[in-house]
Amino acid sequence: MADTPADPVLRAESSSQRATFLELFLDLVFVFALTRVSQRLVEDFTTDQRILLSEAGQTLVLFLALWLIWASTAWVTSTLEPEAFAVQGVVVVTVVCSMVVAVTLPQGFGEGGLIFVAGYLAVQFVRVGFFLIATRGRVVGDPAAPRRVLFWAGLTAVPWLIGGMAGESLLRGVLWSVAVGVDYLGFTLGWPTPRLGRSEYGAQPFAGEHLAERYQQFLLIGLGELILVTGVAFSSGGGAFEPGRTGALGLALLTTVLLWRIYFYRAGHVLPAAIIKSRDPTRLGLAATYTHLTMIAGIVLTGVGYELSITHPFGHIAPAWLIAILGGPALFLVGRAGFEFLVFGRISRSRVIGLVLLAAAVPVVRRLPLVAVAGTTAGVLLGVALSDLRRSHGKALEAPAPPI
């Protein structure tokens, strides 16, 4: 890494690996943003079940756009000096634009479509423009990087804008799905651009410990959102400690603790060391983006399942609700298994067994009350966590062995 005043925007070796207060401030916006995703999903599961797939697909597109904003910002602050004025300005712009995206997300496929797009595209264009102005165009390290990002942003701005102006939600969904898919492709490949090449992640200064900490922090944000959503669901019913509602709330808290335990034991805890030890740290860090995306999606879906369980503890189960109550933890375990492979080069049997049990529970629990289904989910996660505890008892802690 550069460590000279001539490259004030690049990370120096002496730079702190810890997240800055400004980055943590950005995370507060995403706590709120995730609650808006949950709000949309609850509406998706409680409206006409015949259009659930379409509605949930729309929410997924909005969630993917939201995650890409956070992930790309985490990469910026992991490759550049987060205390530099230009980089701090990029984060501030992201805070403002992300708030616009968050408040319009529930109506992203309704009247708020164009405003949502404006906030999302502003992240792409305004923060790159601010960075170029703040550095007076003297971009160090990879001078063509901002132009590559702008090229890809301009490429996807067309379907984003046309979709925002489209009055028909199906057309909007198709255009925005293509747009967000291309955005992810550009991010993954380093924004390859004619005559400008592409950004070589491995050739840039890179703070692996910082990026690992940001992933850990966002995972905690997801768990915090789960607590927030279930707490609000319980208190909105008057806060009365009725047996069913109280039981569902207790199971939600237990599940939150179990998800935390399963994540941080042991891969989540040693992720910084795994990135440092990796033969290709930037590739591992990029792969971890997608495993964490899967786990966060699972946590959000789990929160929706528990909100339904708290609101209707003994109510009739709509078959689609099982997608949230059982599918959320299953999605988390899928992401956690992939994450474990990145860190240790193997997958624990407990993750696979947990997935099998959740799938096998679907035909069994369909006639049970929601609180009982939630209890089944918590029981499976408890088994996974206990398996981890038993495997580690009396043994030396496993060191990371990334296959990348």
More reliable by pLDDT, 110 or 48: 110
| pTM confidence score | 0.94
Q: Give the per-residue pLDDT at 12.
A: 74
Q: Give the per-residue pLDDT at 344.
A: 96
pLDDT tier at 239, thresholds 50, 70, 90: low
Mean pLDDT to the nearest integer, 69-78 = 95
Query: Is residue 159 over pLDDT 80?
Result: yes
Give percent of the chain with pLDDT exceeding 90.
77
Q: Give the per-residue pLDDT at 259.
A: 98
Could you tell me how many helices (H) and strands (E) the chain has, helices first? 14, 0
With tokens 């096998």, the residue in question is: 360
Q: Give the per-residue pLDDT at 402.
A: 96
- Listed range (237-241, 261-265, 274-278, 396-400) with the worst mean pLDDT: 237-241
Q: Give the per-residue pLDDT at 206.
A: 83
Residue 400, sorted as left (phi over 0), alpha (psi -120 to 50) or beta, turns out to be beta
Q: Give the per-residue pLDDT at 55.
A: 85
DSSP three-state, residue 58: helix
**CA proximity to 176, closest of 108, 87, 244:** 108
Residue 397, sorted as left (phi over 0), alpha (psi -120 to 50) or beta, turns out to be beta
Longest dimension (CA), the chain: 68
What is the rounded CA–CA span in Å between residue 332 and residue 344? 18
Q: Give the per-residue pLDDT at 3.
A: 45
Mean pLDDT to the nearest integer, 227-240 = 88
